[in-house]
Structure 1
Amino acid sequence: MDNNTTNQTGPSFKTEFAVDMTCQSCVDDVTNVLKQIPDVKNFDINLKEQRVIVEGAAAPSKVSRALKQSGRSVIVRGQGVANGAHAGAAVCIFDCFNENPSMLPEVSKQGLARFVQIDNDTCLIDITVQGLKPGKHGIHIHELGDISKGCDSCGDHFNPTEVDHGDIETGHVGDLGNIEVEDNGWGDLVLESKRVKVWDIIGRSMVITTGEDDLGKGKSSQSKWDGASGAGVLCGIVARSAGAFENVKKVCACSGATLWEEARVNERDQKPQEVK
């Protein structure tokens, strides 16, 4: 176990990561990465459990990218507020209602999105999916909480400001950009939104599409409507939940990871190690 503290300014986030670490050298590398990130107040590294908890004003998405750039597998296990006083939380369990050519064969198709409203201004979002074909897939919050006909009954993108489709800063409130899927069918996305509010999206739906969202930059009329990202692949209803670290429903009680996140870590650990 390794504890470190640095200076911090601004609101304080708390994020728990599963990080691929096998030795003290890995711990040292992760420590050096975290020390280079401004506004990380403190962090705790547990080598045995391959767990890293980071607190501070640094955006969780920035911390996640920095850890991944060190060449390690990184999974978000939970997000919240350092003092535990968030303004609301929600979860969306993705499911596949129909087989689709954008799915990998023989791989379970599922996913999870978690939302924690840090304050009135910032919503933390982390999304994990399994079973999609490699590449980028658009991800959006839709206006209707109706999956009776799968993704086809979710309605249009959530767009209370009535603007054209675009990126997370200027498009529909429900426009979350793209999630990038690896060769093994896994994908994850960590981001912060100043426009998504937990209380506005509970009871609505989320959809992941067959193709990449062009963020409204394409030449077709469809680009200004939905980013020309194609039909929905996975979808689910956004439901109220306890915040990160407060509820183990749908997760492994031992680690706090979702069941498929835990399976991903186990799958990695079970791979034969190269003999040096």
Structure 2
Amino acid sequence: MRTLLLLTSVVALAACQSTERAADRAAEGVEDAADATATVARGAADAVEDAAGMTYSAAADLFDDDPATTAAAVVRPTTAPNAQAQGTVRFHEMDGGLMVMVSLSGLAPGRHGIHIHENAACGRGDADGDGTMEPGGAAGGHWDPLGTMDHGAATEDLDDKHLGDLGNVTARADGTAEASFTIATFPMDQSVAGHALIVHSGADDRESDPGGMSGTRVGCGVIEGRM
């Protein structure tokens, strides 16, 4: 009987030790997972900071290259499928209006709507207020500081368009687009800086509300003002 009791005690002790070791391993696993999550989070934060630094540095380079540039956006692809739009859009705010100079690549051949949007952001967001998250949606709707609530062509009167309506640029067969135009009606008490420049996958029909039926947001850049 004593032998049986001793054997039972040994087995119970071994089981207890085994359980403790398993608990220790589980705790170590949780710690390792937490460390890994923290490392990934730090890496993601560093990547965001690096990307922001690249954007601001590039905008600063644009100002250095062209003293007449008063604001500029460095356009990069959104998270839309197959989005490759990239390049620069410069603005000269002057007495004769707003001069816009576009240099883009990575576009499908044809016309593409370009617009200034409300927010200085390029991530996914609910642009239309219907609960649907879309690439570049964080930029919000078209910049409309005058409250016209009408979409139109860049050349139309101020009360017939959003101030952010810039019309279309045409991409060549190689996906590049270069354009330069002046919006004579642009009010000089407004500034394009602090908003987002969006490039769309399709042409702007320059009349349909709210965005001209111009398709997916394939490129975005925050417009920086000269410091």
TM category (shorter chain) comes to: 0.5 to 0.7
Residue 191 of structure 2: SS of its match in structure 1?
A: helix
For the residue of structure 2 that corresponds to 1:214, the secondary structure is coil
Q: Is the 8 A contact 1:159 1:172 kept in 2?
A: yes
1:110 paired residue number: 86
Task: Show structure 2 runs of 5+ residues with no match.
Answer: 1-64, 125-134
Q: Of 214, 220, 224, which aligns to 1:235?
A: 220
The equivalent of 2:165 in structure 1 is: 175
Describe the shift of the 1:145–1:228 C-alpha distance in structure 2 as closer, same or farther (beyond 3 A).
Answer: same
**Is residue 91–residue 113 contact of structure 1 (8 Å, CA) maintained in 2?**
yes
* 1:230 positional shift: 0.9
State the partner residue of 1:136.
111
Residue in 1 that maps onto 2:38: none
Aligned partners of 1:204 and 1:144: how far apart in 2?
5
TM-score in terms of structure 1 length:
0.49
Higher helix proportion: 2
1:225 aligns with 2:206: no
The equivalent of 2:192 in structure 1 is 201
State the 1:100 CA deviation: 2.9
List aligned pairs for 1:49-60, cutoff 5 A: none
Q: CA separation in 2, counterparts of 1:146 and 1:187?
A: 23
Matches within 5 A, 1:155-194: 155-163=140-148, 164-170=150-156, 171-193=161-183, 194=185
TM-score (norm 2): 0.59
CA distance in 2, matches of 1:227, 1:97: 19
Q: SS in structure 2 opposite 1:225?
A: coil
Separation of aligned partners in 2, 1:198 and 1:135: 34
**Comparing both structures, which one devotes a greater share of its residues to strand?**
1
Quickly say closer, same or farther: Cα 1:135–1:198, change in 2 above 3 A. farther
Aligned to 1:146: 121
Pick the structure with greater CA Rg: 2
Query: Greater RCO between the two (CA within 8 Å, min separation 6)?
Result: 2
Pairs aligned (count): 147
Query: What's the C-alpha RMSD, in Å, of the aligned pairs?
Result: 2.2
Mapped contact 1:93–1:111 kept (Cα < 8 A): yes
Deviation at 1:112, TM superposition (A): 0.3
SS of the residue 1:146 aligns to: coil
1:6-43 deviation digits (Å, cap 9, x = unpaired): xxxxxxxxxxxxxxxxxxxxxxxxxxxxxxxxxxxxxx
Change (3 A) 1:89 1:136: same
Once residues 189 and 175 of structure 1 are traced to their aligned partners in structure 2, the CA distance between those partners, rounded to angstroms, is 15
Q: Give the distance between the partners of 1:135 and 1:172, measured in 2 at CA.
A: 23
In the alignment, the residues of structure 1 paired with residue 85 and residue 194 of structure 2 have an alpha-carbon distance, to the nearest angstrom, of 22
- Matched residues in 2 for 1:182 and 1:224: separation? 27
Partner of 1:9: none
The residue identity in structure 1 corresponding to 2:105 is Q
2 CA distance for matches of 1:155 and 1:179? 21
**Distance change >3 Å, CA 198–CA 94, structure 1 → 2:** farther
The reply to whether residue 213 of structure 1 matches residue 204 of structure 2 is yes
Deviations 1:234-256 (A, max 9, x none): 001000137xxxxxxxxxxxxxx
Q: Percent identity?
A: 28
Distance 2:167 2:213 in 1: 12
1:96 corresponds, among 70, 77, 84, to 77
Question: Can you list the C-alpha shifts for 1:90-141, whole angstroms capped at 9, x where unaligned?
Answer: 010000132534x5xxxx641100011122x412110111011100000000
> Secondary structure, in 3 states, of the residue corresponding to 2:138?
coil
